[in-house]
Chain A
């Protein structure tokens, strides 16, 4: 029996050592593999830039791939400066789009480091807030989360699950799965390798499988059974409210920008607008004044470089107005 226990311990140690070594290897190479990881790695420098800028207002765009290919930060900054607004525009286009992730990103990666932008811009991309799947957001969430955020995350997520169960006529009684979900989240937070697997898999599949992206989008569109949100400030209004509270407490103003994706075409969906109004956010819809074709966004979501410049040029004056409206000129 002793030999069996020894074997169990040695086997566990060998497995842990090999998995750990590979994990460390992944930690080293993943930043060069993934755009999200590069963005995350750049967050401290961006926070430092906001913290150290004193010549005018600071604008943080908490973006995603849609804004990453839809808003040209340098061009926007130049346009603002040309309009006598000496703003610093910092774009953080990590590939996440739900208010929950933005809340943790803003509080933990910026506010917690003393980087308090005057304005934070949230780009809202499409109009299916309750029926979208975003397989990429979970591992990003674990990068934004700190350990002491877990109880809050559990409490709010479980309350939302409870409310959804009641709304759909299911038994809302908490079951043992809740405990397992909590363990799973904690494990995912603890294991970087585990957290990165989605991105690694996607990179392999995108590289190796012809037309994989087309399949992924078709599968996403066909799946209407999940309440996980993508591209929505309102997937769970609690997170938007927390974000609003945190921004208000820090003195940051929130600006929501409707992006020219299909099918919203630059007009904020009603439920997102209601949420923005409730929280006192500014809504900008500059793209709604223009016409956007398939040539501008071949997949219906992401703009071509030319279309990105056009959107940026449309956004700049609206943003200038919003900044001026929020910051009254000094009295003579």
Chain B
């Protein structure tokens, strides 16, 4: 079920009314969350509920077993069991065809004919999100950062919690699991802020992202050989706005729906396009994934504790893995590699320190330069293949004298992305979560204004949330 579908409001109102009617029993509320979450997910395809149930059961049992023993070898074996099951599911459902297909192609390039069966399985929605979430839980228990949850209902609710099940944020057990054991409360202020997040997120999705999608599809759907620099630039800018509004919109809706149920989810986006350096960007973009990769991959690899070369190796490995997490295709690998590379280059140049000491003009230049790099990253991300990456990159170098259709693409992009730009440059005080007029009537009027904006600017045909496919 999608947040921007017509069924979701009916579903959500029914769930939340029942949920608060059950407020005297945490277990009853948790049972309702679990049931609602499975309905929410099964609405798309009930067959894949089995994967969530399997992942939940394995990690619940394994984590308890880890928690119950001090035998380090046994603990490690148990952890490996969880890793094998979770990464195995991810490998089969998401990466098998990619790696096998790539290997067959590579062998064919060497003149070796290989035949390997491909599975052609539909990618289960959100599998990367809930897999990473359950993995982090078991690893935290193994590291003794967190005690294993004894209540299976609370744990199953944590894994399948519908506000963030299919597109995050990737919540840490240390943050979310305890909330399943505590009484939840809601007051008028939390209600208002939750509703505001929900509506703002929906508007980002239907009025910004969905209107950017056809522009990006139009440009990236063409033969790169026929394109020129300005149109590639305009299409990439449209995609940059689309993916931000789409994904941060989803995160806002997730946080809003969770808050209305008395839960707090982490902030996943913080105006990423005002970032001045790569490290600044990754503190603002998909924060829950960045932190996951930092804590469960970069640091265990050695982080920046070893030699300089090892630090760069760890950075590159982490970012390439992060790229691959987004999708089983070489352009995602290239995107991760590109971000790893610019992280290393900025690190060599000590850019973070320089930017901190820079004048306003210097910071502006840094912002423009890094935004251009971010855009090129989105080109890698959105391209349909590595061949298209080469073609689009070549197109960037030609035809800057004639803007043709680039002008209307940029103008439409500017018109529909106005809320995103306003949010970035006027700050959260004006249009963000923090801002709320003192008068409740003004708050309600603001909500109505935003809803009206969404109604009049929503695109007619629906477009699925981009991050569902990850």
Judge: A and B partners, yes or no.
yes
B187 touches A3 (CB 8 A): yes
Task: Give the contacts of B361-415 with A (CB-CB under 8 A).
Answer: 405, 407-409, 411-412, 415
Cβ of B107 < 8 Å from any Cβ of A? Answer: no
Choice from A135, A184, A214 contacting B405 with Cβ under 8 Å: A214
Are A222 and B6 also in contact (CB < 8 A) when A4-B188, A15-B447, A211-B407 are?
no
Nearest CB in chain A to that of B215: its residue: A219
Task: Give the contacts of B171-191 with A (CB-CB under 8 A).
Answer: 186-188, 191
Cβ of A201 < 8 Å from any Cβ of B? Answer: yes
B6 touches A14 (CB 8 A): no
Are A11 and B447 also in contact (CB < 8 A) when A135-B460, A193-B455, A222-B222 are?
yes
A211 touches B408 (CB 8 A): yes
Choice from A7, A14, A218 contacting B445 with Cβ under 8 Å: A14
Contact with A along B23-44 (1 / 0, CB 8 A): 1000000000000000000011
B456 touches A197 (CB 8 A): yes
B1 contacts across to A, CB distance below 8 A: 176
B188 touches A215 (CB 8 A): no
Bound Cα distance from A222 to B227, whole angstroms: 13
Cβ of A209 < 8 Å from any Cβ of B? Answer: yes
Cβ of B424 < 8 Å from any Cβ of A? Answer: no
Bound Cα distance from A193 to B188, whole angstroms: 30
Contact with A along B442-466 (1 / 0, CB 8 A): 0011011101100111101000000
Cβ of A54 < 8 Å from any Cβ of B? Answer: no
B5 contacts across to A, CB distance below 8 A: 180
Are A212 and B186 also in contact (CB < 8 A) when A11-B195, A197-B455 are?
no
Cβ of A22 < 8 Å from any Cβ of B? Answer: yes
B23 contacts across to A, CB distance below 8 A: 1
B407 touches A176 (CB 8 A): no
CB distance from B259 to the nearest CB of A (A): 12
Choice from A19, A197, A209 contacting B451 with Cβ under 8 Å: A19
Cβ of B114 < 8 Å from any Cβ of A? Answer: no
CB distance from A211 to the nearest CB of B (A): 5
CB distance from A8 to the nearest CB of B (A): 7
Bound Cα distance from A193 to B36, whole angstroms: 32
Bound Cα distance from A15 to B196, whole angstroms: 12
A18 touches B448 (CB 8 A): yes
A187 touches B6 (CB 8 A): yes
CB distance from B157 to the nearest CB of A (A): 21
Cβ of B327 < 8 Å from any Cβ of A? Answer: no
Cβ of A200 < 8 Å from any Cβ of B? Answer: yes
B188 contacts across to A, CB distance below 8 A: 3-4, 7
B218 touches A205 (CB 8 A): no
Are A4 and B186 also in contact (CB < 8 A) when A10-B444, A198-B460 are?
yes
- Best-buried of A19, A201, A208 by chain B (most CB within 10 Å): A201
Task: Give the contacts of A198-250 with B (CB-CB under 8 A).
Answer: 198, 200-201, 204-205, 208-212, 214-215, 218-219, 222-223
Bound Cα distance from A204 to B418, whole angstroms: 14
Contact with B along A277-300 (1 / 0, CB 8 A): 000000000000000000000000
Cβ of B347 < 8 Å from any Cβ of A? Answer: no
Task: Give the contacts of B5-27 with A (CB-CB under 8 A).
Answer: 5-7, 20, 23
A218 touches B411 (CB 8 A): no
A15 touches B448 (CB 8 A): yes
Nearest CB in chain B to that of A183: its residue: B6
Are A18 and B449 also in contact (CB < 8 A) when A197-B456, A198-B460 are?
yes
Cβ of B271 < 8 Å from any Cβ of A? Answer: no
Cβ of A147 < 8 Å from any Cβ of B? Answer: no
Dominant secondary structure of chain A at its interface with chain B? helix
CB distance from B75 to the nearest CB of A (A): 43
A7 touches B405 (CB 8 A): no
Number of A-B contacts (CB under 8 A): 102
Cβ of B192 < 8 Å from any Cβ of A? Answer: yes
Task: Give the contacts of A109-156 with B (CB-CB under 8 A).
Answer: 135, 138
Cβ of A194 < 8 Å from any Cβ of B? Answer: yes
B451 contacts across to A, CB distance below 8 A: 15, 19
Task: Give the contacts of A8-43 with B (CB-CB under 8 A).
Answer: 8, 10-11, 14-15, 17-19, 22
Are A209 and B191 also in contact (CB < 8 A) when A179-B7, A193-B456, A198-B460 are?
no
Nearest CB in chain A to that of B1: its residue: A176
Are A210 and B456 also in contact (CB < 8 A) when A11-B195, A15-B451, A222-B218 are?
no
Choice from B7, B214, B218, B455 contacting A176 with Cβ under 8 Å: B7
Choice from A11, A180, A205 contacting B412 with Cβ under 8 Å: A205
Cβ of B302 < 8 Å from any Cβ of A? Answer: no
Nearest CB in chain A to that of B412: its residue: A209
A219 touches B186 (CB 8 A): no
Bound Cα distance from A138 to B458, whole angstroms: 14
B191 touches A1 (CB 8 A): no
A4 touches B191 (CB 8 A): yes
CB distance from B449 to the nearest CB of A (A): 7
CB distance from B62 to the nearest CB of A (A): 33
Bound Cα distance from A270 to B169, whole angstroms: 53
Choice from B191, B217, B221, B411 contacting A7 with Cβ under 8 Å: B191
Nearest CB in chain B to that of A200: its residue: B456
B195 touches A209 (CB 8 A): no
Choice from B6, B415, B447, B449 contacting A209 with Cβ under 8 Å: B415
15 contacts between A and B (CB under 8 A): A4-B186, A7-B440, A10-B444, A11-B447, A14-B441, A15-B447, A18-B449, A19-B451, A176-B44, A180-B5, A197-B455, A197-B460, A209-B415, A210-B407, A222-B221
Residues of B participating in the A interface, judged by any CB pair closer than 8 Å: 1, 5-7, 20, 23, 43-44, 186-188, 191-192, 195, 214-215, 217-218, 221-222, 405, 407-409, 411-412, 415, 440-441, 444-445, 447-449, 451-452, 455-458, 460
In addition to A15-B447, A18-B448, 14 A-B residue pairs with Cβ atoms within 8 Å of each other are: A1-B186, A7-B188, A7-B191, A10-B444, A14-B445, A14-B448, A22-B452, A180-B5, A201-B457, A204-B415, A209-B408, A209-B412, A222-B221, A223-B214
